[in-house]
Amino acid sequence: MKQWELQCSRCSARLPFRYQDMKCACGGTLLVDYDLEHVAKTFTKASLQLRYPSMWRYQELLPLQDKASIISLGEGWTPLLRMPTWESKLSLKRLWIKREEQNPTGSFKSRGFSVAVSLLKEAGATKAAVPSNGNAAGALAAYAGRAGIQAFVFIPMDCPSLIVDECPLYGATTVLVDGFIHDAAAIIESGRKEQGWVNVGTLKEPGRVEGKKTMGLELAEQLGWTFPDVIIYPTGGGSGIIGMWKSFLELKKLGFIEGDMPRFVCVQESGCQPIVDGLGQPMAVTPTHDSDASLAPEPHKIIPNPTGMRVPNPPDLELLLSIVKQSGGTAIAVSKEQIAQATQSLGAEGISSSPEGAATWAAMLVLCDTGWLRSTDSVVLFNTSHAMKYAKLGASAAIPIIKTYEEFMVYRNI
Amino acid sequence: MKQWELQCSRCSARLPFRYQDMKCACGGTLLVDYDLEHVAKTFTKASLQLRYPSMWRYQELLPLQDKASIISLGEGWTPLLRMPTWESKLSLKRLWIKREEQNPTGSFKSRGFSVAVSLLKEAGATKAAVPSNGNAAGALAAYAGRAGIQAFVFIPMDCPSLIVDECPLYGATTVLVDGFIHDAAAIIESGRKEQGWVNVGTLKEPGRVEGKKTMGLELAEQLGWTFPDVIIYPTGGGSGIIGMWKSFLELKKLGFIEGDMPRFVCVQESGCQPIVDGLGQPMAVTPTHDSDASLAPEPHKIIPNPTGMRVPNPPDLELLLSIVKQSGGTAIAVSKEQIAQATQSLGAEGISSSPEGAATWAAMLVLCDTGWLRSTDSVVLFNTSHAMKYAKLGASAAIPIIKTYEEFMVYRNI
pLDDT score of B295: 46
Whether A299 shows a pLDDT value over 50: the answer reads no
Q: Which CB contacts under 8 angstroms, 24+ apart, belong to B402-405?
A: B402/A175, B402/A176, B402/A177, B402/A178, B402/A187, B403/A177, B403/A178, B403/A179, B403/A183, B404/A187, B404/A190, B405/A187, B405/A190, B405/A191
Residues A226 and B80: their CA atoms lie apart, in Å, by 29
Q: Are strands B94-99 and B80-82 parallel, antiparallel or unpaired?
A: antiparallel
In terms of CA atoms, which chain A residue is nearest residue B171?
A: A348
pLDDT score of A290: 43
Selected residue of B73, B98, B169, B221 to mutate for chain A interface (largest A Cβ count, 10 A): B169
Q: What is the pLDDT of residues B75-84, one digit of tens each?
A: 999 999 999 9
Q: Which CB contacts under 8 angstroms, 24+ apart, belong to B292-296?
A: B292/B369, B294/B337, B295/B335, B295/B337, B295/B338, B295/B341, B295/B362, B296/B335
Residues of chain A with Cβ-Cβ distance to B387 below 8 Å are 166, 169
Q: Please report, to the nearest 10 degrees, the dihedral formed by the alpha carbons of residues B354, B77, B214, B361 taken in order.
A: -30
Across the interface, of A73, A343, A351, the residue whose CB is closest to B81 is A73
Owning domain of residue A300 = 85-105+206-390
Which range is least confidently modeled, A219-223, A306-310, B25-29?
Answer: A306-310
If you count DSSP H runs as helices and E runs as strands, how many of each does chain B have, helices first? 14, 14
Q: What percent of chain A has pLDDT over 90?
A: 87
Whole-number CA gyration radius for chain A:
21
Q: What is the pLDDT of residues A257-288, one digit of tens each?
A: 999 999 999 999 999 999 999 998 655 444 44
Q: Say if A266 falls within a structural domain.
A: yes
pLDDT score of B284: 41
Residues A21 and A125: their CA atoms lie apart, in Å, by 14
Residues B413 and A144: their CA atoms lie apart, in Å, by 23
What is the least distance, in Å, from the CA of A326 to any CA of chain B? 33
The CA–CA distances, whole Å, from B218 to A4, A69, B57, B207, B392 equal 36, 26, 10, 17, 33
pLDDT score of B405: 92
Q: Return the SS3 of A2.
A: coil
> What does A99-127 look like in DSSP terms, one character per residue?
EGGGSTTSBTHHHHHHHHHHHHHHHT--E
How far is it between the farthest Cα atoms of chain B? 77
Q: Please report, to the nearest 10 degrees, the dihedral formed by the alpha carbons of residues A177, A183, A184, A187 taken in order.
A: -100
From the list A250, A239, A249, A237, the residue with the least C-alpha distance to A180 is A237
In terms of CA atoms, which chain B residue is nearest residue A173?
A: B399
> What does B137-161 look like in DSSP terms, one character per residue?
HHHHHHHHHHHT-EEEEEEETTS-H
Please, which pLDDT band fits residue B302 given cuts at 50, 70 and 90? Answer: confident
Whole-number CA gyration radius for chain B:
21
Please, which pLDDT band fits residue B290 given cuts at 50, 70 and 90? Answer: very low
pLDDT score of B303: 81
Residues B134 and B124: their CA atoms lie apart, in Å, by 26
pLDDT score of A398: 78
Selected residue of B67, B69, B102 to mutate for chain A interface (largest A Cβ count, 10 A): B102
Whether B298 shows a pLDDT value over 60: the answer reads no
Selected residue of B388, B389, B403, B413 to mutate for chain A interface (largest A Cβ count, 10 A): B388
Residues A274 and A302: their CA atoms lie apart, in Å, by 14
Q: Return the SS3 of B208.
A: helix
What is the least distance, in Å, from the CA of B252 to any CA of chain A? 24
Question: Average pLDDT in the A337-352 region?
Answer: 97
Q: What is the pLDDT of residues B163-178, one digit of tens each?
A: 999 999 999 999 999 9
Please, which pLDDT band fits residue A51 given cuts at 50, 70 and 90? Answer: very high
> What does A291-347 look like in DSSP terms, one character per residue?
GGGGGSPP-TTSPPPSSTT--SS-TTHHHHHHHHHHHT-EEEEE-HHHHHHHHHHHH
Q: What percent of chain B has pLDDT over 70?
A: 93
Q: What is the pLDDT of residues B246-285, one digit of tens each?
A: 999 999 999 999 999 999 999 999 999 999 999 986 554 4
Question: Average pLDDT in the A126-152 region?
Answer: 97
CB within 8 Å: A106 and B352: yes
pLDDT score of B291: 42
Question: Average pLDDT in the B94-110 region?
Answer: 98
Q: Are strands B330-334 and B263-269 parallel, antiparallel or unpaired?
A: parallel
Question: Average pLDDT in the A163-168 region?
Answer: 94
CB within 8 Å: B175 and A400: yes
pLDDT score of A400: 86
Using the Cα atoms of residue A88, residue A89, residue A92 and residue A96 in order, give the sign of their dihedral. negative
If you count DSSP H runs as helices and E runs as strands, how many of each does chain A have, helices first? 14, 14
pLDDT score of B283: 54
Q: Are strands A30-34 and A4-8 parallel, antiparallel or unpaired?
A: antiparallel
ipTM over cut 0.85? yes
Across the interface, of A50, A104, A343, the residue whose CB is closest to B102 is A104
Cβ–Cβ < 8 Å for A92, A377: yes
The CA–CA distances, whole Å, from B89 to A139, B95, B229 equal 25, 11, 19
The count of structural domains within chain A is 1
CB within 8 Å: A387 and B169: yes
Q: Say if B348 falls within a structural domain.
A: yes
What is the least distance, in Å, from the CA of A346 to any CA of chain B? 8
Selected residue of B101, B178, B352, B401 to mutate for chain A interface (largest A Cβ count, 10 A): B352
Residue of higher predicted confidence among A197 and A398: A197
Q: Say if B66 falls within a structural domain.
A: no
Helices (H), B11-72: 36-42, 45-49
Residues A277 and A287: their CA atoms lie apart, in Å, by 20
Q: What is the pLDDT of residues A348-393, one digit of tens each?
A: 999 999 999 999 999 999 999 999 999 999 999 999 999 999 987 6
CB within 8 Å: A79 and B74: yes
Residues A69 and A79: their CA atoms lie apart, in Å, by 26
Q: How many residues does chain B have?
A: 414
Q: Say if B72 falls within a structural domain.
A: no
Q: What is the pLDDT of residues A7-46, one digit of tens each?
A: 999 999 999 999 999 999 999 999 999 999 999 999 999 9
Q: Say if A36 falls within a structural domain.
A: no
Q: Kindly give, in sequence order, each residue whose CB lies less than 8 Å from that of residue B374, ignoring residues fewer than 6 positions away.
A: none
- The CATH number for A246's domain is 3.40.50.1100
In terms of CA atoms, which chain B residue is nearest residue A353?
A: B169
Q: Kindly give, in sequence order, each residue whose CB lies less than 8 Å from that of residue A219, ignoring residues fewer than 6 positions away.
A: A80, A98, A228, A231, A244, A380
Residues A320 and A314: their CA atoms lie apart, in Å, by 9
Q: How many CB pairs under 8 A join A and B?
A: 201
Q: What is the mean pLDDT of chain B?
A: 93
CB within 8 Å: A190 and B405: yes
Q: Say if A385 falls within a structural domain.
A: yes
Whether A137 shows a pLDDT value over 80: the answer reads yes
Q: Say if B65 falls within a structural domain.
A: no
Q: What is the pLDDT of residues A216-232, one digit of tens each?
A: 999 999 999 999 999 99
